[in-house]
Amino acid sequence: MKVYMDRNHCDLWQASCESCFGRKIILKEFDIEGCVMKILEEENKSEITFYIKDRNGSDKVLYVNQENWPDAYNSWLLLWEQQQTKDGSPNPSAA
């Protein structure tokens, strides 16, 4: 699944955003609402790729799978930071 998010369309501050994101991960409920702009279902894939337009204008790509979903539940931002290499590129081994 691919989920496209734009945090400019949501008024939640960071801690509330983390809580909202965690709820969506636990319930596996992603609807077009708030910051979720688009959802693309992919057959036979359990991974979710989040394309996040952050409020500071940066584009973030977050990979969530069976192994790291608890980390995404705790903090999508910290997981995203962990998935970055020194040059700012996504960590391919995290995908």
Contacts of 34 (CB under 8 A, 6+ apart): 9, 10, 12, 20
Q: Is the per-residue pLDDT at 95 higher than 50?
A: no
Task: Kindly state the helix (H) or strand (E) to which residue 21 belongs, with its residue range.
Answer: helix 14-27
> What pLDDT is recorded for position 87?
52
Place of tokens 């940066």: 58
- How much is the pTM? 0.83
Contact between 48 and 3 under an 8 Å Cβ cutoff? The reply is: yes
Domain ranges of the chain: 2-94
CA torsion 16-18-21-27 (nearest 10°) is -90
Q: Is the dihedral of CA 21, 27, 32, 33 positive or negative?
A: negative
Rounded mean pLDDT of 37-41?
93
The 10s digit of each residue's pLDDT in 56-85 is: 999 999 999 999 999 999 999 999 999 996
